[in-house]
Structure 1
Amino acid sequence: MTKHTRADLGWSDHFARQLSEDDANLLPARISEVHRSQLISQSEAGELRLIPTDSAGAYAVGDWVMTDGTSALRRLDPVTTLHRKAAGHAVLDQRIAANVDTVGLVTSCNADFNVARLERYLALALASNALPLVILTKADLCEDPDSFKRQAERLSPLVTAITINAKDPEDVARLNAWCSKAQTLALLGSSGVGKTTLRNALTGEKEATQGIREDDAKGRHTTTHRALRPTLAGGWLIDTPGMRELQLSGTSDGLEELFDDIETLAAQCKFSNCAHDTEPGCAVKAALADGTLDHARLERWQKLRREDQYNSESIAAARARQKSFGRVVKEAVSTKSRYKRGYDD
């Protein structure tokens, strides 16, 4: 059984400050897999299979929990959290991963590269407070991979982009700087962009990969669930299944950072509630007119802001309804209990 020290697993003062005297006989463990009825975790005692004391959705791969060796008794507040609106019609917030140092946004130097989708991923990463790293795969199959790198880096001064041949171990080793010394790197991206190939090179695993369709550069899912894995460089890697749907929620801070140029212009408008449409004294319209702002970028900013606001408000309303319903149920149970005691007496 492989054992890791707390430091090996990424423990820091942030988590140590959350401990109390009640935790004296408990063990910290880091969650490596989340399943419906159990959590697989890594600790100084080795791998532990824990019973969750909350719904499975309350936990994310990378979380730290306090355990008695059997149950996950308490989840510690994370340093960073990646989350999105759950796919489909459910009005829920889905936690993707926690305590990630760097988010590797994987796309490829072909038809998969999409600026609008990449901005979505970047907003998610920036809102989590993790560092965003754009990883451009299939560089060996592209005549000018640096052109894709320049497009990615133009999206924000906060973006670091790197072009990689995922099938060349020496080239992939350039990513070791982001997943060594107990640091955690999470890989996000579409299916078929090479995430599994990168994972194999970084962890030494031999997971099979799937091919992609030549007409649209899309692939099939290889990774079926999120998991925390040790890297050969001494850090941790979280690989995620390819995302066909990524709706933003609670990422307003990330959008402000990503579109800082537009946010700065909007603050200079004559009216604080300017819609950047027909209002006089609009600094955004002036930038469009003189060519310093791209109209397509403005439309993407507006679309993502509307989506984030709508989903955030919908999720908040759903939580309020659930909380109210919970109070009604609790009061009903209490009333029934009082009635039964009176009847028995």
Structure 2
Amino acid sequence: MTQISAPSATPLAALGWSETFEAQLTPEETALAPMRIATVHRSRVTALSPSGAIKLNLFAHASTTDFAVGDWVLVDPETNTITRRLERSSLLRRRTEGTRAPQLIAANIDTLFIVTSCNADFNPARLERYLALANEAGTTPVIVLTKADMAEDTAGYQTRAAALQRGLAVLTLNAKDIDSAAALAPWCAPGQTVALVGSSGVGKSTLLNTLAAKDDATAQPTSGIREDDAKGRHTTTSRSLHAIKGGGLAIDTPGMRSLHVSDVGAGLDKLFSEIAELAPECRFRDCTHAHEPGCAIQAAVAAGVLDPDRLERWRKLDTENRDNTPVAVGARGNKTIKKPRQKR
């Protein structure tokens, strides 16, 4: 069963409540209780309030899939029924293959810790997918390189990670070491919310246990990795909200086996800013940056300014995003949404 952790008497501000959410309240809603979604299961939702964890009831026609861990909701204190969800300041979501609606991962997060390890799990192409999602969600990405104590040379991993996006913060640490994990303190201040994402076995749950100072009885379960390919087993099976040292909160997430991109055009532009900035200099507005004359992108590759592998990864993600993103088609005033094509 997913554990919910919170101080015994936590004020709303410590749960992440801010003026952004306060401003959404109407005079008629002053008697309702703001609460923050802590877990979302198939048939039930729980939330954190200043008095602790509470199981909530849904309003008519609502589904648990309408809510994400981290959402703020207004609750009737007499019936513990959700009356409405407040508008989100950020939303991390992904589209899974074969589904039409995106899967909600976490809401109202300030920082996304993208956790990977200094071993065979380190994969720049996969990290770029996480970065695109973080950028589109409106949250600050931070790459956390774990298992530093087991690697001979961590500097190479840190250099490669930092090169993935301008201004990207990259930290190398041992997730089990309290002093090492303290490097994350700037993002874990009171009222701040972080989410942890990454593959299974990279140390997300271990890092959460360290950040939250959990004992053996309350710790999130962890498991090792296979030595031959550094792949891990799923230990976190659902998303959950936890109080952490420093006064912040953290959302733990299961390892993701696949990470498809859609609706992340702005996120890709920020991730590949060097390409987005050069594109307007191409001779043709619809340049594919593959073979057209006067292509500024190809010129940059030829001059050694742009990494061709980086361009190829951009091309793959850009194509996937275009294929998976619904678009409005039809005459003005009578547009319909063309859904992403289904793969067979």
State TM-score, norm by structure 2.
0.89
* Selected match of 2:86 from 65, 76, 80: 76
Contiguous gaps of at least 5 residues in structure 1: 323-345
Per the TM alignment, residue 316 of structure 1 is displaced from its structure 2 partner at its CA by: 10
Structure 1 or 2: more helix by fraction:
1
Q: Which of 266, 281, 290 is the equivalent residue of 2:294?
A: 281
Aligned counterpart, 2:124: 115
Task: Point out where structure 2 has 5 or more consecutive residues left out of the alignment.
Answer: 1-6, 331-335, 340-344
Q: CA RMSD in A?
A: 1.9
Q: How does 1:255-334 map to 2 (within 5 A)?
A: 255-313=268-326, 320=337
2:133 matched residue in structure 1:
124
The answer to whether the aligner puts 1:13 opposite 2:22 as a matched pair is no
**Correspondence 1:168 to 2:181:** no
Q: 1:194, 1:306 → 2: CA distance?
A: 32
Contact 1:191 1:220 in 2 (8 A): yes
Q: In the superposition, relative to structure 1, how do residues 316 and 20 fare at CA in structure 2: closer, same or farther (>3 Å)?
A: farther
What count of residue pairs does the alignment treat as equivalent?
Answer: 320
The corresponding residue for 1:191 is 200
Conserved? CA contact 1:134–1:162, under 8 Å: yes
The residue that corresponds to 2:108 in the other structure is: 99
Letter matched to residue 47 of structure 2: S
Q: Paired residue for 2:38?
A: 32
Alpha carbons of structure 1 residues 313 and 288: separation in structure 2 relative to 1, 3 Å? same
Is 1:230 the counterpart of 2:243? The answer is yes
Q: Which amino acid aligns with 1:73?
A: T
What code does the residue aligned with 1:155 have? L
Contact 1:103/1:186 (8 A) holds in 2: yes
SS in 2 for 1:72: strand
Change (3 A) 1:83 1:23: same
**Alignment correspondent of 2:4:** none
Shift of 1:155: 1.1
- Contact 2:38–2:47, Cα closer than 8 Å, also in 1: yes
Quote the offset at 1:201 in angstroms: 0.5
| 8 Å contact kept, 1:3–1:47 | no
Show CA shifts across 1:61-82 (max 9, x none). Answer: 0000011032111111111110
* Contact 1:93 1:315 (8 Å CA) reproduced: no
Q: Is the Cα–Cα contact under 8 Å of residues 326 and 338 in structure 2 kept in the other structure?
A: no
Q: Aligned equivalents of 1:103 and 1:42: distance in 2?
A: 21
Q: Secondary structure at the match of 1:52?
A: coil
Q: Which amino acid aligns with 1:76?
A: L
SS at 2:325's partner residue?
Answer: helix
Residues 97 and 127 of structure 1, relative CA distance in 2, 3 Å threshold: same
SS at match of 2:324: helix
Letter in 2 for 1:190: S
Q: Write the distance in 2 (CA, Å) between the matches of 1:99 and 1:116.
A: 26
**2:63 counterpart (55, 60, 70):** 55
In structure 2, which of residues 10, 17, 26 is the aligned counterpart of residue 4 of structure 1? 10
Say if 1:2 and 1:47, in contact at 8 Å, map to a contact too: no
The equivalent of 2:163 in structure 1 is 154
TM-score with structure 1 setting the length: 0.89
Structure 1: distance between partners of 2:104 and 2:147: 29
Describe the superposition over 1:111-141 as per-residue Cα deviations: whole angstroms up to 9, x where unpaired: 0000100000111111111111000001111
State the partner residue of 2:29: 23
Q: Tell me whether 1:203 sits opposite 2:212 in the alignment.
A: yes
Measure the CA separation in 1 of the matches of 2:164 and 2:13.
35
Q: Deviation string for 1:283-323 (max 9, x for gaps)?
A: 01111111111111111111111211221227999x9599x
1:132–1:158 CA contact under 8 A, matched in 2: no
- Rounded to whole Å, the distance in 1 between the matches of 2:286 and 2:220 is 52
Identify which of 231, 234, 238 aligns with 1:218. 231
Residue-by-residue CA offset, 1:157-206 (whole Å, 9 max, x unaligned): 13100000112121112212211212111100000101111011111222
